[in-house]
């Protein structure tokens, strides 16, 4: 919902209308509804207004006006974030939501360098399509591609299914334009691969979750596409078998993706969406292994004893990928899902998963749970339903298990509001203090994305 404006807020709203035009300052519950509740439905809070600037200059003017008025600002892209960082807090001073969706331009692909510049509000799928139309591939892919923005994926350093082949979003960023809390524009979009002239703002802003500045445009590295890929969906008796299959595939071919879904997730595809597994039997773990340039299945280490389906053409591959890609959707359909996104050393994965299994099996509030994720990266998504949206006891217990194995409490979704109190489990006090010092230097009044990554002052 939007708050009733105070006299000071009314003056600010008038000045914001002057900057972006009256139709791009949204107030009123109906208009702001899509911006104030997150994808998981666990996080929601009021805002003063939603402001939709269309250029870097407008972003700068909006931030300068908010800064002068001491008004907190929350940055939002596609609102597909899964850690509560894309929406206002339920308490505290309500922010102005700055939506980047109108910054959606995509430049021409530079064929010499294999780079493209995209506005922060461009959809991930639009960047993928622009790259593909020019004969290239963008290295980041995730199921929210039709709603997530490039700015959001940079702000969260998004991962996805192709990290093993191309790296996280940070590895794609070769230049950035951003606006600081006071309206100052930082512009470094030249895309030079060799440029050792001090701090790399692209790297710094990647994963900063909107706490340091509003990203307005990004220069991205593209890759050469592979002529053909083969995708196998394979039943495995244990997580160890899935890891062994992945490792054997990587020794024979270039690994494009290695993912997994447990038996619960495969069963949900049938019970929620009516899409039964194409495998002959039900398995504790199903692995999805994609390798490049295998015109036949020779790139995959499969034999007759495997219960597997292999797909070569794009349509067949999409049919198999949906069993992995639609996991977020099928868990979401079952209720308010607690989603923890963690990574652990591959060598400890089986032990960690066994520990998590006993924790979740024994937790009295948990009705059911399951696992899926990116096995190639040691990144497991732990899903459970039962505890109330604001009951975080089991969430904390899961993160403590991960910490005991020297894992990360956030592999790819970020810290957001969800994990602020748990950051110390992965980062030392010295690291957190250094991060906070950077935050304080760039946003001294602490107006940007309050309560995200750092506790509210």
Binding residues for ligand MLT (CB under 6 A): 82, 143, 327-328, 339, 341, 381, 412
Q: Least separation, in Å, of the C-beta of 291 and ligand MLT? A: 20
Say which entry of ligand MLT, ligand FAD, none residue 381 contacts (CB below 5 to 8 A, set by partner kind): ligand MLT
Is 422 a binding residue for ligand FAD by CB under 6 A? The answer is: no
Q: Interface mask (CB under 6 A) for ligand FAD, residues 360-399, using x and -?
A: ----------------------------------------
What is the size of the binding site for ligand FAD (CB under 6 A)? 35
- CA distances to 144, 157, 355 from 148, in Å: 6, 12, 33
Q: Taking contact as CB under 6 A, which single stretch among the options 186-194, 208-216, 221-229, 240-248 is the one that binds ligand FAD? A: 208-216
- CA distances to 113, 121, 145, 149 from 124, in Å: 20, 9, 5, 5
Q: Pick the closer one to ligand FAD by CB: 143 or 310.
A: 143
| Closest residue to ligand FAD using C-beta atoms | 152
Q: Least separation, in Å, of the C-beta of 210 and ligand MLT? A: 19
List 37, 60, 80, 410, residue binding ligand FAD (CB under 6 A): 80
Q: Least separation, in Å, of the C-beta of 153 and ligand MLT? A: 12
Q: Pick the closer one to ligand FAD by CB: 122 or 356.
A: 122
Q: Least separation, in Å, of the C-beta of 400 and ligand MLT? A: 20
**Which pairing describes strands 49-51 and 96-99: parallel, antiparallel, or unpaired?**
parallel
Q: Least separation, in Å, of the C-beta of 52 and ligand FAD? A: 13
- CA distances to 125, 353, 426 from 359, in Å: 38, 10, 20
Say which entry of ligand FAD, ligand MLT, none residue 327 contacts (CB below 5 to 8 A, set by partner kind): ligand MLT
Is 159 a binding residue for ligand FAD by CB under 6 A? The answer is: yes
List 217, 412, 418, 447, residue binding ligand FAD (CB under 6 A): 412
Q: Taking contact as CB under 6 A, which single stretch among the options 140-148, 301-309, 347-355, 383-391 is the one that binds ligand FAD? A: 140-148
3-class secondary structure per residue, the chain: CECCCCHHHHHHHHHHHHHHCHHHEECCHHHHHHHHECCCCCCECCECEEECCCCHHHHHHHHHHHHHCCCCEEEECCCCCCCCCCCCCCCCCCCEEEECCCCCCECCCECCCCEEEEECCCEHHHHHHHHHHCCCECCCCCCCCCCCEHHHHHHCCCCCCCHHHHCCHHHHEEEEEEECCCCCEEEECCCCCCCCCCCCHHHHHCCCCCCCCEEEEEEEECECCCCCEEEEEEEECCHHHHHHHHHHHHHHCCEEEEEEEEHHHHHHHHHHHCCCCCCCCCCCEEEEEEEECCCCHHHCCCCCCCCEEEECCHHHHHHHHHHHHCHHHHHHHCCCEEEEEEECCHHHHHHHHHHHHHHHHHCCCCCEEEEEEEHHHCEEEEEEECCCCCCCHHHHHHHHHHHHCCCECCCCCCCCCCCHHHHHHCCCHHHHHHHHHHHHHHCCCCCECCCCCCCCC
Q: Pick the closer one to ligand MLT by CB: 136 or 288.
A: 288
Restricted to residues 102-131, the positions that interact with ligand FAD (CB under 6 A) are: 120
Q: Least separation, in Å, of the C-beta of 142 and ligand MLT? A: 6
Q: Pick the closer one to ligand MLT by CB: 60 or 327.
A: 327
List 128, 149, 343, 410, residue binding ligand FAD (CB under 6 A): 149
Q: Least separation, in Å, of the C-beta of 373 and ligand FAD? A: 9
Is 76 a binding residue for ligand FAD by CB under 6 A? The answer is: yes
Specify whether the CB–CB gap between 358 and 64 falls below 8 A. no
Residue 302 structure tokens? 């499969």
Q: Least separation, in Å, of the C-beta of 282 and ligand MLT? A: 21
Residues whose CB falls within 8 Å of the CB of residue 341, separated by 6 or more in sequence, listed in order: 82, 83, 379, 381, 382, 410, 411, 412, 413
Q: Least separation, in Å, of the C-beta of 159 and ligand MLT? A: 7
Is 79 a binding residue for ligand FAD by CB under 6 A? The answer is: yes
Is 449 a binding residue for ligand FAD by CB under 6 A? The answer is: yes
Is 81 a binding residue for ligand FAD by CB under 6 A? The answer is: yes
Q: Least separation, in Å, of the C-beta of 147 and ligand MLT? A: 12
Q: Pick the closer one to ligand MLT by CB: 101 or 413.
A: 413
Query: Which positions lie near ligand FAD, rule CB under 6 A?
Result: 39, 75-82, 85-86, 100, 120, 142-144, 148-149, 151-153, 155-156, 158-160, 209-210, 214-215, 328, 412-413, 449, 452
């Amino acid at each position: 919902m939007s708050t009733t404006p105070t006299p000071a807020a009314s003056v600010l709203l008038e000045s914001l209308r002057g900057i972006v035009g009256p139709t791009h300052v949204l107030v009123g519950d109906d208009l702001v509804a899509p911006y104030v509740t997150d994808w998981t439905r666990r996080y929601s809070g009021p805002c003063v207004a939603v402001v939709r600037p269309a250029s870097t200059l407008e972003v700068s003017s909006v931030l300068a006006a908010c800064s002068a008025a001491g008004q907190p600002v929350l940055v939002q892209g596609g609102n597909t974030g899964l850690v509560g960082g894309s929406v206002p807090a339920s308490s505290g001073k309500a922010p102005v939501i700055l939506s980047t969706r109108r910054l959606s331009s995509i430049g021409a692909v530079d064929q010499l360098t294999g780079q493209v510049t995209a506005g922060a509000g461009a959809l991930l799928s639009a960047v993928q399509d622009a790259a593909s139309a020019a004969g290239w591939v963008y290295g980041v892919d995730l199921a929210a591609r039709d709603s997530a923005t490039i700015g959001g994926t940079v702000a969260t350093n998004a991962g996805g299914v192709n990290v093993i082949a191309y790296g996280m979003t940070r590895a794609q960023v070769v230049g950035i334009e951003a606006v600081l809390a006071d309206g100052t524009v930082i512009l470094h979009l030249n895309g030079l691969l060799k440029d050792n002239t001090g701090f790399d703002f692209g790297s710094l802003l990647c994963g900063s979750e909107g706490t340091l500045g509003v990203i307005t445009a990004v220069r991205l590295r593209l890759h050469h596409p592979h002529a053909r890929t083969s995708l196998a969906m394979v039943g495995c008796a244990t997580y160890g078998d899935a890891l062994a299959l992945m490792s054997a595939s990587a020794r024979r071919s270039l690994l494009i993706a290695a993912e997994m879904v447990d038996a619960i997730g495969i069963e949900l595809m049938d019970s929620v969406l009516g899409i039964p597994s194409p495998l002959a039997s039900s398995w504790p773990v199903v692995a999805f292994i994609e390798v490049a340039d295998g015109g036949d299945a020779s790139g995959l280490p499969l034999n007759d004893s495997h219960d597997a389906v292999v797909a070569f053409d794009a349509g067949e591959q999409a049919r198999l990928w949906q069993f992995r890609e639609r996991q977020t959707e099928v868990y979401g359909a079952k209720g308010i899902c607690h989603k923890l996104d963690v990574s652990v050393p591959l060598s400890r994965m089986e032990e960690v998963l066994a520990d998590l299994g006993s924790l979740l099996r024994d937790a009295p509030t948990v009705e059911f749970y399951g696992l899926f994720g990116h096995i190639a990266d040691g990144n497991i998504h732990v899903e459970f339903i039962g505890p109330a949206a604001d009951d975080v006891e089991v969430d904390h217990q899961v993160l403590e298990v991960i910490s005991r194995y020297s894992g990360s409490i956030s592999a790819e979704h970020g810290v957001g509001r969800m994990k602020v109190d748990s950051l110390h489990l992965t980062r030392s006090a010295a690291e957190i203090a250094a991060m906070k010092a950077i935050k304080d230097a760039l946003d001294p009044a602490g107006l940007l994305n309050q309560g995200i990554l750092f506790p509210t002052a």
